[in-house]
Structure 1
Amino acid sequence: MPSRWRTALRALVAVVVVSAGLGGTVVWQNTYALREGKVVLHHRGQPLEGVLALPRHGRGPFGLVVFVHGDGPVDATHETFYRPLWEAFARSGYASLSFSKPGVGGSGGDWLDQSMDDRARETLAAVAWARGRPDVDGRRIGLWGASQAGWVLPKVAARDRGLQFVIAVSPAVNWLRQGRHNLLAELDRDGATPGEKETALRRRETVLNLLDRRASFAEYRAVTGDTDGMTSARWAFITRNHRSDATADLRAVHGTPLLLVLAGRDVNVDVADTEAAYRDLLPPASLAVAHYPGATHSLVDEDLERSDWRLTLTALFAPRRLYTDGFLTDQARFVDRLPPHRGGVAAAPETTKYPETRRP
């Protein structure tokens, strides 16, 4: 065999070995201490397909965390990014239940046809379905939701007084205030001039007037000239929901233990406004607030989220480290400290690395 062939063969073997090693690492890092099973809930004549993730060991009945998605066409696993959370809860003896949104995966319907009330009724149906399972402790069911779920979680908790807890991650209180904050925060981030900000705010007022008049999508396009990203279905969804406000529902939640999770680098939500509202509307004894100063809206550190290549490599080789330091531990710690059933509140997470974490 010529020497150059031997050299090429050695190089090929090295590539195969390295590739196999990296592949094994990816598989290992994306293997979780869970028992996942597909489930189907029929709600309003449509199937909702989802995943029930049980702790790896034990027969139950387990406590249960029901996941409520944020905006967009989210599948049951949120493209696998829920699994580190499911594993954290499983280590505390809690199963996790998550359904794909209507029109996503095998779920029927269309999530863009929903109001926040529709989403709340869907979540209540999921909780009722779970209470009928022998492997679920119906007295230890709570909700976990992020972002847009902030308008769903309080509705559900106000209507189902048997819920053990709620975890609200990066929620807003008022849709319109949230939208204005998001617009200005993104303009600031992108270095917009005062004139550009003024133009953007005027355009926003034009759009709000159209929404209040329930203008058609055709009129929206004629007035704004916008064809970037907005669709007729999305316009209808925004028209239906843009007046959402969680104030009344939060007031009705009363004493359900609630963990409010806020990110210091959140351009989507005004975290100061959210915290002030939650503290004003909820009994202090039932509210715990956890701050993560370096994290973005998605609870990923800002420097990681801004680097596409680092984000991709982390997702592949260390998916549990996508979330900001302490977040997964604090989620599990919150449920660990819950009273066995309703009545009382878990202590706020003691995240010593984040001195801004506050204890009510």
Structure 2
Amino acid sequence: MTRRDIEFDAEGVTLRGWFYPAEGATGPAPTIVATHGFSAVKEMYLDVYAEAFAAAGLNAVVYDHRNFGASDGEPRQEIDPVAQVRDYRHAITFASTLAETDPQRIGVWGSSYSGAHVLVVAAIDRRVKAVVSQVPLVSGLANLYALVRADFVGGLRESFDVDREARYAGDSPAMIPVVSEDPLGPAALPTADSWTWFTDTAKLRAPAWRNETTLRSVEMFTEYEPVAHIAAISPTPLLLMPAQHDHLTPTRLAIDAYERAREPKKIVILPGGHFDAYVDGFSVSSTAATDWFVEHLQP
């Protein structure tokens, strides 16, 4: 599979990634724009999804979020969901300028936190002609109460306030681990499978990943409500793929959100938990996504 390095401007911040050309294309082809979830970098299996899309005759643009991996941006390791949504739109603009792209046939793919972003992007950007949202966050506030013990929520909110006061005084943003081996330790993603997947995947294929994010990123997580946009995606075709046993972005929340979406839409329940979509369940998740894009973007 031939790919090339890319970079593009996102209103003053350079974002970097890879372009995968559609196999067998004899002219401009559909292009899928994709990036990763909370704190993850493109080496964490985005390449295998891009290869699957390319093998089906679809171009793929994959990139690292601002402040992460190969992309520029400050402060490092900060995750602003609104900025990431806007960067998806910058990536769509970039993809539209490529000679290989038919700008009338652009799809967006996202997973976990970026699975949330593509719901928003598809609702507000009509250049998107098909969307796939895999194991998505749909409500930051509901997810907070699903992940954090009730007796810990007050302390977490107090830490947000302390961090705000410190930043106001000129201090750097406080940091928090993304994952922790201790299920009761401080972490943005406090589940055992999060610790296992991130640490194992970093060792295997993503040495650029760092186990830290700003505490402010977690606060912005709690403010983010992509489900508010889901009904406005129509008439763009939506494929939603929750995992059967997902307790990081709970399955029931995604299914409830799906009921609020309008046609055309389809739901595919992936096997296993949140992170199985990338490895053991990759064949199921990639095939469903590829088939959806081919159906709605190929002539």
TM range (shorter): 0.7 to 0.9
Report the residue type matching 2:239 in the other structure.
L
Displacement of 1:56: 3.7
Name stretches of at least 5 consecutive residues in structure 2 with no aligned partner: 168-172, 175-183, 189-210
Could you list the structure 1 runs, at least 4 aligned residues long, displaced by more than 4 angstroms after superposition: 212-218, 226-233
Query: Structure 1 residues 90 and 236 mapped into 2: Cα distance closer, same or farther (>3 Å)?
Result: same
Contact 1:120–1:156 (CA<8 Å) still a contact in 2?
yes
In 2, Cα distance between the equivalents of 1:66 and 1:227? 35
Query: Structure 1 residues 263 and 209 mapped into 2: Cα distance closer, same or farther (>3 Å)?
Result: same
Alignment of 1:35-46 (within 5 A): 35-46=2-13
Q: Secondary structure, in 3 states, of the residue corresponding to 2:223?
A: coil
Displacement of 1:275: 1.1
Q: Secondary structure, in 3 states, of the residue corresponding to 2:128?
A: coil
Q: Secondary structure, in 3 states, of the residue corresponding to 1:240?
A: helix
Report the residue type matching 2:43 in the other structure.
T
Match of 2:155 in 1: 206
Question: Which one of the candidate residues 20, 43, 52 is aligned to 1:77?
Answer: 43
Displacement of 1:70: 0.4
In 2, Cα distance between the equivalents of 1:155 and 1:213? 31
Deviations 1:225-250 (A, max 9, x none): x9855799521222233211113222
Question: Which one of the candidate residues 21, 40, 52 is aligned to 2:19?
Answer: 52
Name stretches of at least 5 consecutive residues in structure 1 with no aligned partner: 1-33, 184-199, 301-319, 342-360
Query: Identity of paired residues, percent?
Result: 19
Report the residue type matching 2:268 in the other structure.
A
User: Is the aligned partner of 1:250 residue 2:216?
Assistant: no
Report the residue type matching 2:135 in the other structure.
S
Question: Which one of the candidate residues 246, 256, 259 is aligned to 1:279?
Answer: 259
User: Is the aligned partner of 1:173 residue 2:138?
Assistant: yes
Q: CA RMSD in A?
A: 2.9
Match of 1:135 in 2: 100
Deviations 1:61-113 (A, max 9, x none): 12111003100141x333xx123322221232101111122233431114644
Displacement of 1:288: 0.4
Report the residue type matching 1:51 in the other structure.
W
User: Is the aligned partner of 1:120 residue 2:97?
Assistant: no
Match of 1:22 in 2: none
Deviations 1:256-313 (A, max 9, x none): 1010011112110221221112212x21x31100012x3210234xxxxxxxxxxxxx
In 2, Cα distance between the equivalents of 1:106 and 1:321? 23
In 1, Cα distance between the equivalents of 2:223 and 2:187? 21
User: Is the aligned partner of 1:288 residue 2:255?
Assistant: no
Query: Structure 1 residues 176 and 321 mapped into 2: Cα distance closer, same or farther (>3 Å)?
Result: closer
Report the residue type matching 2:17 in the other structure.
G
Report the residue type matching 2:242 in the other structure.
L
Match of 1:147 in 2: 112
Match of 2:192 in 1: none
Deviations 1:194-215 (A, max 9, x none): xxxxxx4212233135547874
In 2, Cα distance between the equivalents of 1:73 and 1:162? 26
Displacement of 1:51: 0.2
Contact 1:262–1:290 (CA<8 Å) still a contact in 2?
yes
Match of 1:234 in 2: 214
Report the residue type matching 1:72 in the other structure.
S
Contact 1:46–1:109 (CA<8 Å) still a contact in 2?
yes
Alignment size in residue pairs: 262
User: Is the aligned partner of 1:335 residue 2:293?
Assistant: yes
Report the residue type matching 2:265 in the other structure.
L
